[in-house]
Chains A and B, each alone.
Chain A
């Protein structure tokens, strides 16, 4: 597609439920990134996929968080047993050549009640 697409745009879930967030990167972009942005704060790195290499999971805050990507296409970020502190905007970005900068999606606003 023309841009990075994320769905859903907004998600409200009950504490303890699992959620899946989806990211559809720009076609041909080999790298895909997930960031978390809490209200009024900066971007917190979560995970990074590059082609078929093993992902860099160093930013995942706990084992409740996981992400998958099939080849160079769609990625899903899964949060199990959601907690209120998981409430944030989750941003996805993709790039072909990271040094040229990333293209971001509009994010998913997750609210855990």
Chain B
């Protein structure tokens, strides 16, 4: 079974600074997908960024980027120039290749302080 671990239950960052959220996972698969989702107080889960395991290049989406270390099974999320609207729960998720079943970590609560 695949497990996803987020070791930081809570984090905070000053507005405009950079923060990195950690995620590790356990799998014997070689091909898979990794995701970061954001859940603001509205409860709606929003896809932030996705990474395909067979791609070595780290995914980026504007202020969001990942550091994907396949050998270490690590998938951290870096948020640059943090904004107040980034305050939310962030969930790391894993999906096996050719399988639509996504498994989530326990989440990290991020607070951006003015």
Beyond A42-B106, A45-B103, whether A99 also contacts B45 by CB under 8 A is: no
A: number of interface residues (CB 8 Å): 25
**Are B95 and A89 in contact, CB atoms less than 8 angstroms apart?**
no
Closest B-chain residue to A3, C-beta based? B44
**What residues on A are CB-neighbors of B47 within 8 Å?**
101-103
Quick one: CB contact mask for A43-62 with B, threshold 8 Å, 1 for yes?
10100101000001000000
CA distance A38 to B35 in the complex (A): 21
Task: Return A94 CB to nearest CB of chain B, in Å.
Answer: 10
Within 8 A of A (CB), among B33-92: 33, 35, 37, 42-47, 50, 52, 91
**What residues on B are CB-neighbors of A107 within 8 Å?**
43-44
CB-based A-B contact count at 8 angstroms: 55
Task: Return B77 CB to nearest CB of chain A, in Å.
Answer: 14
Q: Is A80's beta carbon under 8 Å from chain B? A: no
Beyond A41-B107, A106-B44, whether A33 also contacts B102 by CB under 8 A is: yes
**What residues on B are CB-neighbors of A103 within 8 Å?**
47
Beyond A91-B45, A104-B45, whether A98 also contacts B100 by CB under 8 A is: yes
Q: Is A21's beta carbon under 8 Å from chain B? A: no
Judged by DSSP, the binding face of A is strand
**Are B107 and A104 in contact, CB atoms less than 8 angstroms apart?**
no
Beyond A41-B106, A45-B101, A98-B100, whether A89 also contacts B91 by CB under 8 A is: no
Task: Return A105 CB to nearest CB of chain B, in Å.
Answer: 7
Q: Is A95's beta carbon under 8 Å from chain B? A: yes
CA distance A11 to B102 in the complex (A): 26
* 15 cross-chain CB contacts under 8 A: A35-B104, A41-B106, A42-B104, A45-B101, A45-B103, A48-B100, A91-B43, A95-B100, A98-B99, A98-B100, A98-B101, A99-B97, A101-B50, A102-B47, A106-B44
Lowest 5 CB-CB distances: which A-B pairs, in order?
A98-B100, A104-B45, A42-B106, A43-B104, A101-B47
